[in-house]
Chain A
Amino acid sequence: MTAPSIAEASRTPGTPAGSAGSRYLRHPWVGFSLRRLGGLLLSFAVLVIVTFLIVPLIPGDPAVIAAGEGANPAQIAAVRAELGLDLPLLTQFLNYASGVLRLDMGASFISGESVSALIFTRFPFTAEIALLAIVLVLAIAVPLGMTVAILTRGGRNRWLDAGFNFVTSLIYSVPQYVVATLLVVVFAVTLRWFPAAGAATLNSLVLPTAALMLGPACVISRIVRRETAAVLEKDYIRTAHGWRLSVLRTNARYVLPNLVTTTLTLSGLILAAQLGGAVVIETVFAWPGLGQGIVNAILQRDYPVIRGIILVLGLLATLIIILVDLILAIIDPRNLGGTTHDV
């Protein structure tokens, strides 16, 4: 006689065998995972198709650029054939899609290097400033927003309220490239505290990260302030005050956790946007990340690199949003059944 399997052992007596599977399927985490996986696959398929289709819409023949100055038509035609640009569009798409599935995004039209290797070289630079920026945004914006909300509660310190609104609105309304340029002029060219461009040294991180984080920090601090103000009016906060808990303990244990959902959701969206939106910052600071890479690739009509970078950034944005959903579901299982933040 063989020992019962775990599934059999765990089965409720009298329950038909098939219903265990049904129970698993009805489990909130299964539905949650299937929805996210489906969204991820759909996003991937759309990204593959869209990246393939939109890139050739950019005017200009990549073979002319790749062949270089002074190339004659025969040399340009040879380059076109070498790059596979003379193949039917459907064949090109099948080659591209099958390559992506094999994690082979082809080779750069210009340098001949593997696109995966190029992305692998550039990605850490973008990730570095994007991650640092989001960590700093959270570290600054959450305490700042909470502090302002607490200090201005009940109409107190109206000057602080007005000042906070004015400063955060002003900074956020200034375009990112203007902020970046001002930082360079003041802290690099005039004061010479930090390098103006490049990624040669550790302190090269300071200005690009600052330029990337200032706007989002203003937005999140304003949202945190508003959310905090709302939480402070809740009965349980009044109760906490009634228990004579310290201000720090009340805010840390009962206000801050209630801000998590909003803050985390926004931070995920901002991080996703930072990855793709670092184009301006990376150009101003000559930061060798994906943003600068895609600008160069577009100028050179380097189709495989453009497609590879867009695909990677798109997938990363999707994964970040899924990760945020996952974290929210872990800390509050009620999010498992929700349809918010669906991919």
Chain B
Amino acid sequence: MIQTFPPTAGAAVRRGRRLAPLAAAAVAIAVAATGCTTGTATTGSTAGQASIDTIRTVVNADPTSFAPVEVRNADDYGVNRLLFSTLVRRDENNKIVPDLATKWDITPTQGTFTIRSGATCADGTPITAGVVAESLKVFASPDSKSSFRPLVLGEGPATVTADDAAGTVTVKLAQPWTDLLQGLSLHATGIVCPAGLKDPKALTAGDIPGAFSGPYTLTKKQHGVAYTFTLRDDYRAWPEYQTEIAGTPARTIEASVNANASAVSNELLTGTKDLATIRGKDATRFDGNKDFSTQVIPQGSLYMMFNERPGHPFTDLALRKAVAQALDATAFNQAASGGLGELYASFAHPGVPCSNKDTGLLVKSDPAAAKATLAGVKIRMVGAQVFGPNGAANTYVAEALRSAGADIELRNVDLATWSTDLTQKLDTWDITVMGGINAGGTMYGALSTVIGTPVEKGGLNWGGLENQPVLDLVSKAMTQTDDTERCGTYQEAQKLMISEAHVIPLTSLPSQVTIRSGFAMHTMNGQPDESTMRITK
């Protein structure tokens, strides 16, 4: 009889019998779980082609807020472009064109905007002058959470008033600020409808459909997974670009969350995404691929920045110039982006109005001359790993300075540590590669991290040198309404900054807008505008 076998065998038999339902349960749970997360609507062998009314794209990270005054990063900007309209928009060549405002009257201290008739919020509320003013008052408030407020309105107080009868909104400034018009094209000034202003917390979470003034509403959000935007049937208030945007706005935009550039590229190449911005070497995977159109855009600009606080070596002009001499911008570009970037003559990218294009202002590369000055100089460098693969741009700079005889100590750290060190641990660094995003796209925006009130005194200046002569020039430019005059003043300011090597312009911080054939998205003045995504097939 089998029962005569050793107890272990008998017990084992019983185990097997008892395990059967457990195993079945495990399989059932696993199979059931598959239905919990992934969708069931496959669209081809590799989830192949989208339906004709949908654009499938990617955001690098979850939007941090759906409230325009709280936007913090590029993904926030893109999402806000879909959901909120602004008074004006930037077109190619930095021309300001109508969005909610059809015309405007600008002086250095005031702007009056005529609001278009017929525009509505997503809940049908008419967008009147009063609605616009209430939204802008939140942005202009001294307690404003927006880091863009000083770029748009200057540091002083601002008042916003509405005249509903005339259909106008007036913004009055305490000091001349000729960046006002351009500033009001920024995503951070997006008009929030009354339903959103009533509940700021729900607005931040994107939970109030009636808050949206833009072409899309947020219809589904799954944190860390995907966000779905749906085109409003009643939306007619498209910006009046100089050239009409070709194609059809997608009825649905599906944006999945994916920060891995390689994975995003794979998704584009295998047909599961239609459009994405790719950073780093993965961008080159689309070279020569006829199924995609690509456009390299400046995500920002890369330049050397010094800690010019007393006691640090780079208060010395000769040392700063020697650093500039030790570097080769082309070699830096290779390290930073595999040569994808563009060499710059300014710390502001060429799309910024009045950006310097004169390479004659730059300190010329001369490694031999650098050696004479830098030999034995102790330098502490902190660099962000995001600049080049594992911070290759920082490594290049460190090695170039080491070749010039400097005793350099490089800390290659992640973005969070880098920004913390530069703004809070001021005695731990002397030099860094700066990545200026300058989302505002203004010259003041580009200058604000290197001139003015230092961070330790409550300002935005990371470098520490207030640089009064340049500040005076900025103040002068802010009173000049004539573009040529203003650019002349800004050119003087850039000359001081560059020729005295307070900054050493290097290259763009490139990314590549990659679009499958049959789809389109326009870049306005070098910056992608997500509300211009279209289906063209």
Contact = CB atoms under 8 A, between A and B. Distances in A.
Please say whether chains A and B are actual partners in one complex.
yes
A196 B270 contact: yes
Contact of A283 (B13, B15, B260): B260
A257 B16 contact: yes
A199 B148 CA distance: 36
A192 B42 contact: no
B225 interface: yes
Contacts of B460: 70, 72
B30 A260 contact: no
Interface residues of B, number: 86
B9 interface: yes
Interface in A218-252: 234-236, 239-240, 243, 252
A342 interface: no
Nearest to B147: A70
Contact of A254 (B9, B63, B258, B269): B9
Contacts of A73: 423, 455-456, 458-459
A65 to B, nearest CB: 5
A292 B37 CA distance: 15
B219 interface: no
Contact of A75 (B23, B27, B147, B151): B147
A239 B73 CA distance: 73
Interface centre among B15, B40, B420, B460 (most CB of A within 10 A): B15
Interface string B32-47: 0110111111110111
A202 B414 contact: no
A63 to B, nearest CB: 9
Interface residues of A, number: 81
A198 B272 contact: yes
Contacts of B145: 75
B5 A117 contact: no
Given A72-B459, A74-B458, A194 B34 contact: no
Interface string B260-276: 10111011011110000
Interface string B46-81: 110000000000000111110000011100000000
B62 A110 contact: yes
A113 B40 contact: no
B205 interface: yes
A128 B36 CA distance: 8
Contacts of A60: 413-414, 416-417, 419-420
A60 B414 CA distance: 9
7 contacts: A69-B147, A70-B445, A76-B423, A128-B34, A135-B26, A192-B270, A257-B11
Interface of B: 2, 4-6, 8-9, 11-16, 18-19, 22-23, 26-27, 29-30, 33-34, 36-43, 45-47, 61-65, 71-73, 145, 147-148, 150-151, 201, 204-205, 222-226, 256-260, 262-264, 266-267, 269-272, 413-417, 419-420, 423-424, 437, 439, 445, 448, 455-456, 458-460
